[in-house]
Chains A and B, each alone.
Chain A
């Protein structure tokens, strides 16, 4: 599937303030996706500093010259995708899989998550991960507005509801307690339902011999050709497409608009 993306994030600050953001908004080439064209533009800040981080993400550092009232970040491009049943194999990256067994504050498991994980244990890693995927899709309702970006896996699991970030965090926390490396993935999803956001997040976990596999517990499936993967990290904070620091300024508004369409449907 050929997917066109236009993703705009704007920050406004009143009074104007200095802005600095790390952007992980460039999709890598993967078994499941080929990037045909991609451009990252930033208005209101300079974003010439680029590097590849330990997880293989392309990072751009956007820093304003002195105080600014608005920063507009636009990521636009076309990606050719194919359905690999979520399997990515071993993408080029510096981190070793064992790093993805580390706990972070957002993904620390509690007794309930540990018990859930144990109940999903099967003969093989692959079967276990699918049991986690199905079990989590059943157990935790998709309910926007009930959690925030700082909600931990444990508290979302206790509430049995949340959004894609919470589903992914619980999945990651559970997989790690079973000794299976797991991490957080961000990206885009082509969807037919207008109300669902096109900006999306899910988990990746490692199965020996197969490599990294995507698992989307919010939708109860592995990523298909409708998914574009952007960045990965140990949790939502580390993989965030835009991670910023407030440097003064009384108020800051964040406005995100994403338009994703499959070109073959046009």
Chain B
């Protein structure tokens, strides 16, 4: 039997645990899993863990870590114990995410047209028009079906039974969906008996739904079945595995900028069967690099003339250039307003309280309370350039205070959240570890939220940083059906 002491002596007993209540009884959606866990032995689980690691290594799922001195690529740790979400919880999350995603797409359409939200005084003009993630070149353009962000990964954290918060919206090029799919496949292989005992909503259709979504936003002039391709920066990108994986799963070509050419008013890819027209390009390259003729002239990754083709309605870029303005960390503080402005409804999902260092009063509060806050760079990602107040040294706080004073607009701060915990395999037993959740959303002819997502887990005891670049791992995420 697995040691449960590891669980009961966890140092984060104040956090909401998704499996066990305070009296150590299992929450409803975890009851079957909890019973199963108690029947497992450490040796049995260790054997399964070795088997899972071997599967991932064979699949080649690795993750390049920027700035790591040792090996460039390493395996993202996978934790065997699934994270379980009840049907009712999921219905709530799904409604909230859909509302938010619709509102953010409406916001993008508005700021690239008449900017009613700025005229109404609900968001400062400078926040939009002066933002480096805002692309003036997009103004006045109508993307197919009016969709700007087609593929979204909404980061959600939980602090209580009904305490769900959106941490980040990730509207540019969210990654991680390949782990969601591979984690599920591996779990089904390792633990068929657990799937027989639960009704787990399937995630396997994601590649097919992605292809349908991409095809549904083909340019209006496209006749016949639209051709989709995935554009990658290449093998040195940290998410190259995912680019190749998704292209393969969808049955479409994976291309680099050098495989594409703009000619005769269309985009073409060179294939082994000759040149083929591309109607929809799922690009996993940042805005600045997609087209040296229109953006950074020194980019070698993009395709010259690609943006001109896009504006002329000859090809669809997914996600649209300039969507980053809607997941900017400074704009994030305005998202509840944005939801109300475009939907006329109260936001279903809450924001984490956010202090904007660009505003003198809020900056003052941040500088006085660095010890309790998490400070983030407005344009940072992947857990880089962060200060976690409660875990920081006096010197680190002094350095951050200096940086905030020098460039206040570049920083926001949030209270340190007591992230919920889930059981994770920890050596000789199981222990509670902090988690977040990234469900994946597709927006084309309709909005589809795939039931599940990527659960990231901070495998170090007590750690709150779940980013894979900072030593976090992943788990399979089960949404139960009624």
B140 close to A46 (CB less than 8 A)? no
Contact of A49 among B125, B129, B265 (CB under 8 A): B265
Contact of A22 among B136, B263, B293 (CB under 8 A): B293
A46 close to B263 (CB less than 8 A)? yes
A46 close to B297 (CB less than 8 A)? no
Q: What's the minimum C-beta distance from A237 to chain B, rounded to whole angstroms?
A: 8
**Which residue, of B118, B136, B308, has the highest number of chain A Cβ atoms within 10 A?**
B136
Q: What's the minimum C-beta distance from A90 to chain B, rounded to whole angstroms?
A: 14
Q: Report if B46 contacts A (CB, 8 A).
A: no
Chain B residues closer than 8 Å to A54, beta-carbon distance: 136-141
The digit string for A60-77, where 1 denotes a CB below 8 A from any CB of B, is: 010101000000000000
Given contacts A54-B136, A94-B113, A245-B304, contact A20 B312 (CB under 8 A): no
Given contacts A50-B312, A54-B140, contact A20 B304 (CB under 8 A): yes
A53 close to B137 (CB less than 8 A)? yes
Which of A80-88, A95-103, A137-145 faces chain B? A95-103
- Using a CB-CB cutoff of 8 Å, which residues 117-164 of chain B contact chain A? 118, 125-126, 128-130, 136-141
Chain A residues closer than 8 Å to B304, beta-carbon distance: 20, 245, 247
- Using a CB-CB cutoff of 8 Å, which residues 229-244 of chain A contact chain B? 234, 237, 243-244
B129 close to A99 (CB less than 8 A)? yes
Q: Report if B448 contacts A (CB, 8 A).
A: no
Chain A residues closer than 8 Å to B37, beta-carbon distance: none
Given contacts A59-B308, A245-B297, contact A94 B139 (CB under 8 A): yes
A51 close to B311 (CB less than 8 A)? yes
Q: What's the minimum C-beta distance from B242 to chain A, rounded to whole angstroms?
A: 29
Given contacts A96-B139, A99-B139, A245-B297, contact A61 B305 (CB under 8 A): yes
B129 close to A102 (CB less than 8 A)? yes
Chain A residues closer than 8 Å to B293, beta-carbon distance: 20-22, 243-245
A95 close to B139 (CB less than 8 A)? yes
Q: Report if B8 contacts A (CB, 8 A).
A: no
Q: What's the minimum C-beta distance from A11 to chain B, rounded to whole angstroms?
A: 14
**Residue on B nearest A181 in the bound complex, by CB:** B129
Give the distance in Å from the alpha carbon of A94 to the alpha carbon of B311 in the complex.
Answer: 13
B136 close to A95 (CB less than 8 A)? yes
Chain B residues closer than 8 Å to A59, beta-carbon distance: 308, 311
Q: What's the minimum C-beta distance from B108 to chain A, rounded to whole angstroms?
A: 14
Q: Report if B418 contacts A (CB, 8 A).
A: no
A102 close to B130 (CB less than 8 A)? yes
Give the distance in Å from the alpha carbon of A257 to the alpha carbon of B293 in the complex.
Answer: 23
A245 close to B292 (CB less than 8 A)? yes
Give the distance in Å from the alpha carbon of A61 to the alpha carbon of B314 in the complex.
Answer: 12
Q: Report if B358 contacts A (CB, 8 A).
A: no
Q: What's the minimum C-beta distance from A25 to chain B, rounded to whole angstroms?
A: 14
Chain A residues closer than 8 Å to B261, beta-carbon distance: 18
Given contacts A54-B141, A99-B129, contact A22 B312 (CB under 8 A): no
**Residue on B nearest A93 in the bound complex, by CB:** B140
A22 close to B305 (CB less than 8 A)? yes
B309 close to A49 (CB less than 8 A)? yes
**Residue on A nearest B313 in the bound complex, by CB:** A51
Q: What's the minimum C-beta distance from A49 to chain B, rounded to whole angstroms?
A: 4
Chain A residues closer than 8 Å to B312, beta-carbon distance: 49-51, 61
Chain A residues closer than 8 Å to B140, beta-carbon distance: 52, 54, 93-95
A96 close to B115 (CB less than 8 A)? yes
Chain A residues closer than 8 Å to B35, beta-carbon distance: none
B115 close to A49 (CB less than 8 A)? no
Q: What's the minimum C-beta distance from A93 to chain B, rounded to whole angstroms?
A: 8
Give the distance in Å from the alpha carbon of A15 to the alpha carbon of B304 in the complex.
Answer: 20
Q: Report if B225 contacts A (CB, 8 A).
A: no
Given contacts A95-B136, A98-B125, contact A53 B305 (CB under 8 A): no
Contact of B309 among A21, A61, A101 (CB under 8 A): A61
**Residue on B nearest A247 in the bound complex, by CB:** B304
B129 close to A63 (CB less than 8 A)? no
B262 close to A63 (CB less than 8 A)? yes
Chain B residues closer than 8 Å to A61, beta-carbon distance: 262, 265, 305, 308-309, 312
Give the distance in Å from the alpha carbon of A95 to the alpha carbon of B141 in the complex.
Answer: 11
Chain B residues closer than 8 Å to A65, beta-carbon distance: 263-264
B129 close to A98 (CB less than 8 A)? yes
List 12 A-B pairs, Cβ < 8 Å.
A22-B305, A49-B265, A49-B308, A51-B308, A51-B312, A59-B308, A63-B263, A94-B140, A95-B136, A95-B140, A96-B118, A98-B118
Which B residues form the contact surface with A (CB < 8 A)? 113, 115, 118, 125-126, 128-130, 136-141, 261-265, 292-294, 297, 304-305, 308-309, 311-314
Those 7 A-B pairs whose CB atoms lie nearest each other, nearest first? A94-B140, A98-B129, A54-B139, A94-B139, A49-B265, A51-B312, A245-B304
Given A61-B308, A61-B312; 9 other pairs, CB 8 A cutoff? A18-B261, A20-B293, A20-B305, A48-B265, A54-B137, A65-B263, A94-B139, A99-B139, A244-B293
